Amino acid sequence: MMTNGVVHANLFGIKDWVTPYKIAVLVLLNEMGRTGEGAVSLVERRKLNQLLLPLLQGPDITLSKLYKLIEESCPQLANSVQIRIKLMAEGELKDMEQFFDDLSDSFSGTEPEVHKTSVVGLFLRHMILAYSKLSFSQVFKLYTALQQYFQNGEKKAGGDADMDREDAERQMEKEELDVSVREEEVSCSGPLSQKQAEFFLSQQAALLKNDETKALTPASLQKELNNLLKFNPDFAEAHYLSYLNNLRVQDVFSSTHSLLHYFDRLILTGAEGKSNGEEGYGRSLRYAALNLAALHCRFGHYQQAELALQEAIRIAQESNDHVCLQHCLSWLYVLGQKRADSYVLLEHSVKKAVHFGLPYLASLGIQSLVQQRAFAGKTANKLMDALKDSDLLHWKHSLSELIDISIAQKTAIWRLYGRSTMALQQAQMLLSMNSLESVNASVQQNNTESFAVALCHLAELHAEQGCFAAAAEVLKHLKERFPPNSQHAQLWMLCDQKIQFDRAMNDGKFHLADSLVTGITALNGIEGVYRKAVVLQAQNQMTEAHRLLQKLLTYCQKLKNTEMVISVLLSVAELYWRSSSPTIAMPVLLEALALSKEYRLQYLASETVLNLAYAQLILGIPEQALTLLHMAIEPILADGAILDKGRAMFLVSKCQVASAASYDPVKKAEALEAAIENLNEAKNYFAKVDCRERIRDVAYFQARLYHALGKTQERNRCAMVFRQLHQELPSHGVPLINHL
């Protein structure tokens, strides 16, 4: 049989066959053996040895590309190889026959050039054996294919020379060259040998797992896989890689189709049954059901996932397969993690995984348990102790992927608890570790989900501190590492949208912020609804904002999303006092404070105290408000966002001024001077995040204070700043300084 210049008798019965490309590689090996040690330097010899393995294992490449690779390693040898191939291709058929006859001499003598059991020796023996099995007609077709292979290579080289000589006709020649390259690639493309196919599949699978950007694009990879399956439809591993490839583009139908085909072919080819008999057949069935459950769970089809999981559990129980049952137990927790008693299931899963010696499952169980207890309000020291125990498992069993997940988890926990400095430290630790660790195929394991999560936290933390240029650089790096079609791109997309939204709100561009809500909602529905309510509130559409917030509050309470519940309660409270109803806001704020304390969300608790202090200020008890502020301001200044620091200092100034109303003139003047200093600090904070609306409020307040102190020049300067900003940012009828 002859396909595109590839001669092979039986695709399933032979592992290697002769192609024009492999003849070129044989010529290279022959020339390396004939060249003396003195003719090639030690550095060139080392480069050639490093080049050989990918040439032997990889798919066929064009002759011009092969010349280029050899020339980069040893220009002298590249010239010799080119001459030998030219003489063979332009000569007669007997020249190719003589070449294969001479290959056997490499193994002769007391000190042969090549050892029979070496990688090169095995390749030579396979090629000699495959060539000897060819009929005369197949040999003639192979020689014809070699001539065509050589001619296409010469056309490519000639096209490159013309490009260098004739700049005026560059575009025309480029088009002609592209056509010749495409023809050349078609002429040397054909079915891969078993080893080449296995190498290709393992390489692409490793890239999809660790560095998706270096893998082939989804369309290109699927084209290659279809080509593989056209010549060998029962190649189970190709179906599985097709399943992984379809997951990248969220194609539920094709991914399900490929997954089922994988397990069907696994059973049909007897890959499981040869060694295990009927047990192998049953093992494929139960793991097929388990993988199908995981697939449905990923796409949110929880009912179908539960049915598939029940089937997997039933078959695993019949076969007494404890390992499969442990995997099923883990997925059972994932499907039922919203239930109140799910932690019992998870603890049982961890104990069983340790008992059966499954460190990967045990560690994932501990990570899930820590995450669940973080949302339940457990103290940080207990959670970190649990993560330390899982880290011991990781280092003991060299589970590098789980080490990354553990550090990303710590970053998220510290942010949840409002400790931005610790979160920043953990994120930077993960990035440093990933930049040092390499895995197979020279892949840097820095394109995993944990890396994306850490970078997103880093971008948000920089944006919170007003370092928008640094945040933009991090996001730019994220976009390069995770293109829009990659599976983790949604993480940076949401992060980017949120940062843009916050900047638009700070700058008073509510129409721009409103346009960003649609994108946020597409990526995270809850976050999108909350931000829509914030925009409506800023635009004074209080009734609509209140309706949205109440619906969101009910929904989040049902989901037990405590962090969002507290944020919604704070927005509702702000809505009440902006509607001149501070007394109604007090119970809402107290509820938010109780939740923050219960779940140990320190940063949200501090923000709630700020709001309580402001409510007390509006109610006319500034002394108590100032006492509350002293409790909350330290964690805000230590770990808070720049905007919140400015809000805190602004509120302190307001309370100082309100408290000084009953002071004697000298003490009152000192209090007003202290308030002005705090206002300057607040203005600096607001300037860092370009929050012009709040800078306007600060300027107005400073002008009033300077007027009370009789400082006309400073008052006029602040009044001018206020007037400029007030003209740019109309107040929409809202009384000035009527928000925190």
50-108 pLDDT, tens digit per residue, is 888 888 877 778 888 888 888 888 888 888 888 888 888 888 888 888 888 888 777 76
Quickly state the pLDDT bin for 38 (edges 50, 70, 90). Answer: low
Average pLDDT of the residues of the chain: 82
- What is the model's pLDDT at position 176? 37
The Cα 688–Cα 43 span in angstroms is 55
The Cα 689–Cα 641 span in angstroms is 10
- pLDDT of residue 189 exceeding 60: no
Pairing of strands 6-7, 443-444: unpaired
Cβ neighbours for 19, distance < 8 A, ≥ 6 positions apart: 5, 6, 7, 60, 145, 188, 190
Residue written as tokens 């030219």? 86
The Cα 527–Cα 521 span in angstroms is 7
Quickly state the pLDDT bin for 274 (edges 50, 70, 90). Answer: very low
- pLDDT of residue 734 exceeding 50: no
- What is the model's pLDDT at position 568? 95
- Neighbouring-strand partners of residue 3: 6
Number of other CB atoms surrounding residue 158 within 10 Å: 12
- Stretch 418-426: mean pLDDT, rounded? 91
- pLDDT of residue 403 exceeding 50: yes
Which pLDDT tens digit goes with each residue over 662-696? Answer: 888 889 899 999 999 999 999 999 999 988 889 99
- What is the model's pLDDT at position 11? 41
- pLDDT of residue 557 exceeding 60: yes
- Stretch 595-601: mean pLDDT, rounded? 91
The Cα 174–Cα 190 span in angstroms is 26
- pLDDT of residue 521 exceeding 90: yes
The Cα 105–Cα 606 span in angstroms is 83
Cβ neighbours for 656, distance < 8 A, ≥ 6 positions apart: 626, 671, 672, 674, 675, 678
What CATH number should be reported for the domain whose range is 399-435+446-507?
Answer: 1.25.40
Residue written as tokens 């004697």? 664
- pLDDT of residue 340 exceeding 90: no
Which pLDDT tens digit goes with each residue over 118-138? Answer: 888 888 888 888 888 888 888
- pLDDT of residue 622 exceeding 60: yes
Percentage of the chain surpassing pLDDT 70?
Answer: 86
What does the block give as tokens for 102?
């001479």
What does the block give as tokens for 352?
């069983």
User: Would you say 647 and 655 are in contact if contact means Cβ atoms under 8 Å apart?
Assistant: no
- What is the model's pLDDT at position 185? 40
Where are the chain's structural domains? 20-156, 399-435+446-507, 641-739
- pLDDT of residue 280 exceeding 70: no
- What is the model's pLDDT at position 630? 87
- What is the model's pLDDT at position 735? 45
The Cα 709–Cα 417 span in angstroms is 42
Quickly state the pLDDT bin for 411 (edges 50, 70, 90). Answer: very high
- Global model pTM greater than 0.85: no
Percentage of the chain surpassing pLDDT 90?
Answer: 30
- What is the model's pLDDT at position 7? 41
User: Would you say 21 and 149 are in contact if contact means Cβ atoms under 8 Å apart?
Assistant: yes
- Largest interatomic CA distance in the chain: 115
- Stretch 723-732: mean pLDDT, rounded? 77
Residue 459's closest CA among 510, 500, 488, 429?
Answer: 500
The Cα 604–Cα 498 span in angstroms is 18
Highest mean predicted confidence (pLDDT) among 158-167, 442-451, 585-594: 585-594
The Cα 660–Cα 674 span in angstroms is 11
- Stretch 731-739: mean pLDDT, rounded? 48
What's CA 390's distance to the chain center, in Å? Answer: 23
- Stretch 423-445: mean pLDDT, rounded? 66
Residue written as tokens 């408290």? 659
